[in-house]
Amino acid sequence: MLPALLPLPLTLPAGLIDLRRGIIPNALNLALLVAGLGAAAWEDGARGVALALASAATAYALFRAVRAGHARLTGRIGLGLGDVKFIGAAAAWTGLTGLPVLILAASLSALAVIGILAAAGREIGRDTALRFGPFLALGLHAALGFQASLVAGLLDR
């Protein structure tokens, strides 16, 4: 479970700053990317760095396209650029294979909060904004934990 906690010194402030100010600072996203590349180098040398960098670039491009597509369809920005950068940096940690778990965990936890807010009487509608950074941080840790448990399960056999 320790690998799942390694990026916590970066994801915790990123999530808290996003909650308070509605922004994930570029410096934190860059630090998350660099730390992910460092973890990849530690684990698999230059090959690991190349794969992590390719995963980060692909995830960034994919979610930048999702952001643009949503804006074109709705006329609104639904995913902040800091969130897109965070997803790219997170993919350096998880690889593309961890991205579905990251996004699923982030989305389900955000939906749970929306449900709790609605149950508490808050009016929820199309224009309800929810800072997604904390949920992306949770999703990153969930994806890393899931990957670590898969590896541990394979090693136990």
Residue 2 has pLDDT above 70, yes or no: no
Contact residues for 26 (Cβ-Cβ < 8 A; gap 6+): 82, 85
Per residue in 88-126, is it b (16+ CB within 10 Å) or e — as a string? Answer: bbbbbbbbeebbebbbebbeebbeeeeeeeeeeeeeeee
Q: pLDDT band at 153, cuts 50/70/90? A: low
30-89 tens-digit pLDDT: 999 999 999 999 999 999 999 999 999 999 999 999 999 999 999 999 999 999 999 999
Q: Tell me what pLDDT residue 95 has.
A: 97
Contact residues for 12 (Cβ-Cβ < 8 A; gap 6+): 137
Contact residues for 146 (Cβ-Cβ < 8 A; gap 6+): 98, 101
Q: pLDDT band at 157, cuts 50/70/90? A: low
Residue 154 has pLDDT above 70, yes or no: no
Prediction pTM value: 0.93
Q: Tell me what pLDDT residue 83 has.
A: 99
